Chain A
Amino acid sequence: MPKPVLVFGYGNPSRGDDALGPLLVEYVQDHCDTDGIDVLIDFQLQIEHALDLEHRELVLFADASVACEAPFELNELEPALEIGYTTHALHPASVMAVYASINKQRPPPCFLLAVKGEAFELGESLSASAERHLRQAESFIEALLQNPRPAAWRSKKFQSRPLFDKIRT
């Protein structure tokens, strides 16, 4: 039986800052209490990942982003069809939409932790800025997982970036 919380990091570890999602999940594996938490890593999101949302109470996707503000953003997602211009780019909101289509019900609450990246070339390591953002995101995700409830994650404490430093201290 799946555990109630899923942390799902995705990205290609060999493409520079694209590794941010998988690295965050590795941090969770090594440093967080994973009782009640399943972790998952994949290169990219695909249709069958909708099945990984089944029987969950809460899902956290972790990904690199060129669009978010540094160092990271946490946002709750709604099921939505985001047509990927390339098929390896299913957005988590689309995975939720596939879930809703298959199961004829709303998916569990899903959040996206997007960590700012900038360089994605094959064979590159993390950029210096991504390295900094990762360290900050690690502290943040640790705090998130100490309180794995949708209501808590929706609270100002986690949604408002100026408070992030207070959480870390």
Chain B
Amino acid sequence: MYEHLETADNPENLRRVAIDPVSRVEGHGKVTLLLDEHDRVKQARLHIVEFRGFERFIQGRPYWELPVIVQRLCGICPVSHQLAAGKAIDQLVGIDPDKLPPSADKLRRLLHFGQVLQSHALHFFHLASPDLLFGFESQIGKRNVIGVLSDYPDIGLKGVKLRKYGQEVIRVICGKRIHGTGAIAGGMNKALTLEERDYLLEDIDQIIAWSEEAVGVIKKVHCSHLPYYDEFATIRSNYLGLVRPDGALELYHGGLRVRKGEGETVLDHVDYCRYNEVIHEEVRSWSYMKFPYLLALGKQDGWYRVGPLARVNNCDYIDTPLAEAARVEFKAHGGGSMVHSTLAFHWARMIEVLHCAESIKHLLHDPEILGRDLVARGEKRFEGIGVIEAPRGTLFHHYRIDENDIVTKANLIVSTTSNNTAMNESVRQVAATYLSGRELTEPLLNNLEVAIRAYDPCLSCATHAVGKMPLQVELIDAEGHIADRMVKHGDGSLERADDA
């Protein structure tokens, strides 16, 4: 659709603008634009500086360390990595996902629902809502969580408390907020006590009510700005994700389903242990991050989207009543077919928050959640593959071990990698539609960031030392000289640097 903007014909004659790093996404990414003499965009790319060294970090470790070690890859969704690794090492001790003791399976699901709930709440209320509530090109000093808490205190506070509740689910199951040790090979290492169950039940009805309100907020925002919200950064894509055997929305364990933009099902209920037969990854010279594609559709057309929009588009129904009603309304908005609006990621994300809240309540009332039979063992295997639907989309962990139980091979495909081509397409759409031919300003450039943020990319850079990561926007002329340079200060204001 906008592939012609991936690589310009004569880049040497064009000016370059960089947004580095993109703000309010997890980690470090940058956007570069090449402009001609009339400020028309000739090339637009999203670069991700991350993921190098993940596999190296894991190789050489004993497999039983993996659920704990992989949490350190990412400070944003450590539980997702814990559970994907947990599912993979289940297989290393001979346990397939459907053979896990029921109490262990339910505890893992409860943990996962808590993780998805807190991650989605953080993204929506903290990162996305400033743009959505104040406008993409509104005053930058307002576009932040404090602005939301000031002007929309009710919404802001509920966001903080939803996030906190999800973190409490994680803390209770894993023993602490981070570095917890919930999943182990073949099950879980700690049962939920009656007191812990009752503690989590205390607030769950409130959490469900707030989640339902959040769906209402994003639906109202989206529908109040039609057709803009339906068109902004919007691309037609394929969608990939897990579904349950009966087609229901599934976040923890299921088969792979792929649907094309028109809704046609390409793959269904594929065992994710065969993911290598379904997905390949392409390397491009200008990006550290790979570009996965579906073999069945080929390199050109096989790129796809994952995450909330893909999951809600792909599933046949949701097994919790309030979220299902919200899904039906969401699909009706798309005329019953696939919803391609990139900003609809936010809407789908809140439907999933509601599903998580309802599912947490359901699980807490299930007597098996208190069970103490938590570990199963089988015959050792040398290869394990774990796949879950992480908050940002399908997450693949694949390990091989040797006779001494040491990891000899690790392969991870994280959700943000799967969305790489799609994010680039959205960036190019926004650059071509809203930026081309206009003088670039911070509010205008924020449109690019809004498009990227809709995907909630996690660039997995859980280091944050004070003083790192300044933001600079540089304009470079055809000779490679810096023609202009702007610096973004801590209060969000922009200042033209004197040395440009």
**Residues of chain A whose beta carbon lies under 8 Å from any beta carbon of chain B:** 10-18, 40-44, 46-48, 50-51, 63-68, 80-89, 91, 94, 97-98, 101-102, 112, 114, 117, 120-123
Contacts and interface: CB of A to CB of B under 8 A. Distances in A.
Given A88-B26, A101-B150, A123-B57, A83 B491 contact: yes
A94 B490 CA distance: 10
B490 A83 contact: yes
A86 B178 contact: no
A64 B122 contact: no
Contacts of A82: 490-491
B488 A101 contact: no
Contact of A86 (B27, B72, B78, B177): B27
Contact of A123 (B56, B164, B177): B56
Contact of B127 (A15, A17, A42, A87): A87
14 contacts: A14-B72, A40-B177, A41-B179, A43-B462, A51-B160, A82-B491, A83-B23, A83-B490, A86-B23, A87-B127, A88-B462, A89-B469, A101-B150, A102-B149
Contacts of A83: 23, 144, 488, 490-492
Nearest to B56: A123
B466 A63 contact: yes
A88 B53 contact: no
Contacts of A101: 146, 149-150, 153, 156
B490 A51 contact: no
A40 B179 CA distance: 12
A63 B467 CA distance: 11
Contacts of A12: 72, 75, 462-463
Contacts of B25: 86-87
For chain B, give the interface size range: 35 or more
Interface in B449-471: 459, 461-471
A120 B490 contact: no
A81 B144 contact: yes
B163 A102 contact: no
A94 B24 CA distance: 14
Given A84-B24, A86-B26, 12 more contacts: A10-B464, A11-B463, A12-B75, A46-B163, A48-B161, A48-B163, A48-B164, A63-B466, A83-B23, A85-B21, A87-B26, A120-B468
Contacts of A63: 465-466
Contacts of B122: 46-47, 87
Contacts of A84: 23-24
Contact of B470 (A80, A85, A98): A85
A86 B449 CA distance: 12
A99 B54 CA distance: 35
Contacts of B294: none
Contacts of A16: 463
A13 B72 CA distance: 7
B412 interface: no
Contacts of A89: 464, 468-469
Given A85-B469, A117-B465, A98 B145 contact: yes
Contact of B178 (A17, A42, A91, A97): A42
Interface string B376-401: 00000000000000000000000000
B461 A88 contact: yes
A81 B146 contact: yes
B469 A86 contact: yes
Contact of B146 (A44, A48, A87, A97): A97
What 5 A-B pairs have minimum CB-CB distances, sorted nearest first?
A: A67-B467, A43-B75, A14-B72, A101-B149, A65-B466
Contacts of A14: 57, 69, 72
Contacts of B21: 85-86
A14 B461 CA distance: 11
Contacts of B465: 11, 17-18, 63-66, 117, 120
B75 A44 contact: yes
Given A81-B146, A87-B26, A89-B469, A120 B156 contact: no
A121 B448 CA distance: 29
B25 to A, nearest CB: 7
Nearest to A97: B146
- Among B144, B157, B463, find the residue whose CB has the most chain A CB atoms closer than 10 A: B463
Contacts of A123: 53, 56-57
Contacts of A98: 145-146, 149, 160
Contacts of B190: none
A63 B464 CA distance: 9
B310 interface: no
B260 to A, nearest CB: 33
Contact of A122 (B73, B144, B467): B73
B143 to A, nearest CB: 9
A65 B76 CA distance: 20
Contacts of A117: 465
B28 interface: yes
A47 B126 contact: yes
Interface-central residue, B25, B75, B465, by most chain A CB under 10 Å: B465
A81 B163 CA distance: 20
B103 interface: no
B67 interface: no
Count chain B CB atoms within 10 A of each CB in A40, A80, A91, A98 and give the residue with the most. Answer: A98
A120 B27 CA distance: 14
Q: Which of A47, A80, A86 has the most CB of B within 10 A?
A: A86
B159 interface: yes
A86 B149 contact: no
Nearest to A112: B466
A81 B491 contact: yes
B115 interface: no
B404 to A, nearest CB: 21
B167 interface: yes
Residue of A43, A91, A102, A112 with most chain B CB atoms under a 10 A cut-off? A43
B78 A43 contact: yes
A86 B464 contact: yes
Nearest to B453: A87
Nearest to B163: A48
